[in-house]
Amino acid sequence: MITNFKGKTAVLTGAGSGFGLECARIGAARGMNLVLVDVQQEALDKAEAEMKAAGAKVLARRVDVSDAAQMEALAAEVKATFGAPHFVFNNAGVGAGGLVWENSVADWQWVLGVNLWGVIHGVRLFTPMMLEAAKADPSFEGHIVNTASMAGLLTPPNMGIYNVSKHAVVSLTETLYQDLALVSDQISASVLCPFFVATGISHSERNRPAHLAAQPLTASQKIGQAMTDKAVGSGKVTAPDVAQKVFDAIAANQFYIYSHPHALGSVQVRLEDVVQGRNPTDPFAHKPELGASLKASLRGAAAS
């Protein structure tokens, strides 16, 4: 149980918007040192100015989390500036959809680069630093929060590339939790699995690097984008709500963090499919009109 955050250091990737920014705001209010990381310079500058105005000590760096060398340079600078961080929020993420065979190699490299490799780099670089600090100081407490998604526990159709990246983050974080428990009682981990929350991720193409440029969107990708925009736009849970849940979970040493616990019914159905060896249940069984609409759109697009 971690209750005192004052003077502790947090590394936050994706800190310029969404959950990263909201967690940074809570961190600033609690008197934490903040390492703000984002790929979008303008958003990063605004976040840095806001956190400094709130009285926080801030190190802000523009970093592509998928790039090993950039993340290694960041980790070295964090250690030199603040020492080992107490908290790491591996939060940076991008979204992409469409029928899974329509994604290009560049699509896979971009989404897995940010959503999975970004988390891998955060874990491999900061965990040893935190363990070293814990060994040297019996009072050191640390926690790593990796942002996955309900798509890491479900397999919604027409967004396979995103599902793959987020399932990997869930698996990585569950294993991290078990591995940490073997070697230390001072550091633990949580996985954040949000459902549809307005964070800006549905328009993450704006941050896509030129060398992984997108081809024109396929019909299925356009349909997927429209559905995501609608779902995110109609969401009632806000990014600040989710950030508060994250801090509550750290304080309670709670592993799974959900923005929409009601969505767990679908997770239960999926796991029962697995245990019983039955074919995957129709993900739209509870909203058949949505499934019929998606099927008609995709078949219509294929026929045209």
The catalytic residue among 162, 177, 256, 258 is 162
Rounded distance, CA 154 to CA 281, Å?
A: 11
Rounded distance, CA 39 to CA 57, Å?
A: 20
pLDDT by position in tens, the chain (length 304): 788 999 999 999 999 999 999 999 999 999 999 999 999 999 999 999 999 999 999 999 999 999 999 999 999 999 999 999 999 999 999 888 889 999 999 999 999 999 999 999 999 999 999 999 999 999 999 999 999 999 999 998 888 999 999 999 999 999 999 999 999 999 999 999 998 655 454 455 556 666 666 666 776 777 676 666 665 555 677 889 999 999 999 999 999 999 888 889 999 999 999 999 999 998 888 888 888 888 888 888 665 5
Is the separation of the CB atoms in 48 and 59 below 8 Å?
no
The C-alpha angle with vertex 206 and arms to 33 and 43, in degrees rounded to 5, equals 25
Longest distance between any two alpha carbons in the chain, whole Å:
66
Q: What is the 3-state secondary structure (H, E, C) of the chain?
A: CCCCCCCCEEEEECCCCHHHHHHHHHHHHCCCEEEEEECCHHHHHHHHHHHHHCCCCEEEEECCCCCHHHHHHHHHHHHHHHCCCCEEEECCCCCCCECHHHCCHHHHHHHHHHHHHHHHHHHHHHHHHHHHHHHHCCCCCEEEEEECCHHHCCCCCCEHHHHHHHHHHHHHHHHHHHHHHHHCCCEEEEEEECCCCCCCHHHHHHHCCHHHCCCCCCHHHHHHHHHHHHHHHCCCCCHHHHHHHHHHHHHHCCCEEECCHHHHHHHHHHHHHHHHCCCCCCCCCCCHHHHHHHHHHHHHHHHC
Please tell us whether the domain made up of 9-303 is placed in CATH 3.40.50.720.
yes
| pLDDT at 199 (0 to 100) | 47
Rounded distance, CA 190 to CA 174, Å?
A: 8
Is the separation of the CB atoms in 154 and 266 below 8 Å?
yes
Rounded distance, CA 30 to CA 25, Å?
A: 9
| pLDDT at 204 (0 to 100) | 52
DSSP-assigned beta bridge partners for residue 190: 145
87-90: strand order across its sheet: 58-62, 33-38, 9-13, 87-90, 142-147, 187-193, 256-258
DSSP-assigned beta bridge partners for residue 89: 12, 145
| pLDDT at 212 (0 to 100) | 61
Number of residues assigned to the chain: 304
| pLDDT at 288 (0 to 100) | 84
Rounded distance, CA 93 to CA 128, Å?
A: 23
Decide if 258 is catalytic: no
Backbone angles phi, psi at 235, to 5 degrees: -70, 140
Is the separation of the CB atoms in 246 and 23 below 8 Å?
yes
- Amino acid letter, 13: T
* Every domain of the chain and the residues it spans: 9-303
Is the separation of the CB atoms in 70 and 48 below 8 Å?
no
